[in-house]
Structure 1
Amino acid sequence: MARWLRHLFAPSAAGRFPAPALARIGEAVAAGERLHGGEVVFAVEAGLSWAALAAGTTPRARAEDVFARLRVWDTDANNGVLLYLLLADHAIEIVADRGLHGRVGDAQWAEICSAVAAALADGDAERAVADGVARISDLLARHFPPGGDAGDELPDGPVLL
């Protein structure tokens, strides 16, 4: 019941991430992508729908659904990464495409999620996400150097769900 109430009364994601902050996060995504050949997408959602709650949707399952819906998987090198926040559950999820499996371990993704969580707890949501994007970009730069023919395959702007 507590989870349902958190989602029902979740404040707007736009309140936590106003337009100027979203623009700066989009700039951080673009800057990071100049360092590597991967794609990073940031999406934030205040709370789940009643149907998703009734179905028992976990933050991870929702992140995987968002990964698919935003077509983060649809890059030439299969190297898209989604950084997803579900505010009502205080959940941070990273979903990486199959091109990163075997190159980046679960512990590395968990470390980034922990760093974002710690920064969010300090109250600066924009800085927390920008730092998470930078950390993801550092990992991508190790495995997918800049260049190649694909270019910028996905939009850099954050997605409010």
Structure 2
Amino acid sequence: MADHSAIRRLRDFTAWVKTLNDLDPGLWLKPIAAGKWSTAEIVAHLANWDRHILSSILPAARQGGAIRFPDEDAYNRQASDYAKSGITQSALLAETIRTRERLVAELLEMPEEWYARKLNYSLDMLIPEFANHDDHHRDQIVRFLRANAK
């Protein structure tokens, strides 16, 4: 059975992402800590994983095939590079929100039985993990913004 609370958490995350439109542009590309990503890179990272769910994980669940993950380091580096490519703050946020809204819509349209399909992973396991992943990164950004509040 679909974990609708996790899907709601994925959906509700977009409201928080929208608040980042008001983020001081000087903080947007500033690393949240030494050796860490910036808010822009974290947002790009989350959007990149949403795209992977849409392009790879959901089709595998529909077809009953194995769920595959890309090389995490390379995939995450790709997101970081994209965030630093010159894309504007508003464009990256809008893209992230659109991608997340599409993901949530597709998850809600999926038949219940697809969530419990025992592949190498099940959507019942993965969707809450991705919601927890959102929470982890949101908490990092919130702590950074509080520490840098003017």
**Common topology (TM > 0.5):** no
Query: In which range does the TM-score fall when normalised by the shorter chain?
Result: 0.3 to 0.5
TM-score, with structure 2 as normaliser: 0.34
Q: Identify, as 1 or 2, the structure richer in strand.
A: 1
